[in-house]
Structure 1
Amino acid sequence: MSARSTSRTAPSAVTVNSVVTSVLTVQTPGRGFTDLTREVEAFLREIAAREGVATAFIRHTSASLTIQENADPTVLRDLTTALSRLAPEDAGWVHDTEGPDDMPAHIKTMLSSVSLQVPVRDGRMLLGTWQAIYLIEHRSRPHRREVVLQFIGAV
């Protein structure tokens, strides 16, 4: 039997006294990942966030959000390949109103996330060393996407 070691920092009490919301408009280049981490960090700096939670919510059904590795770009390339294998364009989908990538985009959104939450302490997101927040564009052509950013906590 192996010993398991755990540790945690002491909890901090915060009075939630603010809810701040902003809409981020992102122009995507087409299928792939767009790093939004800097934009979320800028939002938190702009509102002088101290402690609470940051939420990102994408207002679309053919694009999504994820937290993923930010060090090796081949991870994002492989994830794009995996999503394409899970929902290929040539699978005989009935819904193709906006083209052959329409229904696969909806499936890929369903398989990923439309909202994310990240804890904030001392004005900074508590992302891991190799984590970043990404918008995933599932359509092949460029799109203008809206991401709602919201901070709930102390400012």
Structure 2
Amino acid sequence: MIHQKTLALQTRGRGTVEITGEVERIVSASGVRTGLCNVFIRHTSASLIVCENADPSVREDLERFAARLAPDGDPLFGHTLEGPDDMPAHIRAILTQTALTIPVFQGSLALGTWQGVFLWEHRTHPHRRSMLVTVMGED
């Protein structure tokens, strides 16, 4: 059995948005009890991560680390068509993930106690983001 659904959301700009609940609802509606859930983001300046979901300072620290790796406005970057955060956003997306695959166990995402699924927006301004969620397995 294969079930696909598009998940869309508006970000507030740079930072993380937890999408665990939305993905979990898609898994539940699919009827798959044992299988895999793949989440793919259809953008080059945002990414997906599995991260600590209990303490937001973890994600704040990740943001500070990413800013050190790919700072906005770095004169090294020639690709600035959409502003000083354009190329850094692409670098951040490439260094993280555009797709996640999570096991489905007993009809739910098999995440650990403190794990959550997050969209990581790398642009400074709000954007509408689209993800394709594919659930595959047996009922």
TM over 0.5: yes
Which residue does 1:69 correspond to in 2?
52
Detail structure 1 runs of 4+ shifted over 6 Å in the superposition: none
Instruction: Pick one of 56, 59, 71 that aligns with 1:88.
Output: 71
Which residue does 2:126 correspond to in 1?
142
* 1:1-155 alignment, distance < 5 Å: 18-92=1-75, 93-155=77-139
DSSP-derived class of the 1:91 partner = coil
Q: Percent identity?
A: 46
Distance, in Å, in 2 between the alignment partners of 1:90 and 1:25 is: 29
Tell me how large the CA RMSD over aligned residues is.
0.7
Distance, in Å, in 2 between the alignment partners of 1:131 and 1:100 is: 32
The TM-score, its normalising length taken from structure 1, stands at: 0.87
Distance, in Å, in 2 between the alignment partners of 1:34 and 1:151 is: 21
Once the 2 structures are TM-superposed, how far is the Cα of residue 149 of structure 1 from its aligned partner? 0.2
Q: Deviations over 1:92-118 (max 9, x none)?
A: 110000010000000000110000000
- 5+ residue gaps in structure 2? none
Task: Number of aligned residue pairs: give it.
Answer: 138
DSSP-derived class of the 1:72 partner = coil
- 5+ residue gaps in structure 1? 1-17
The TM-score, its normalising length taken from structure 2, stands at: 0.97
Once the 2 structures are TM-superposed, how far is the Cα of residue 90 of structure 1 from its aligned partner? 2.5
Once the 2 structures are TM-superposed, how far is the Cα of residue 64 of structure 1 from its aligned partner? 0.2
Distance, in Å, in 2 between the alignment partners of 1:104 and 1:90 is: 8
Greater mean deviation of Cα atoms: 42-51 or 25-34: 42-51
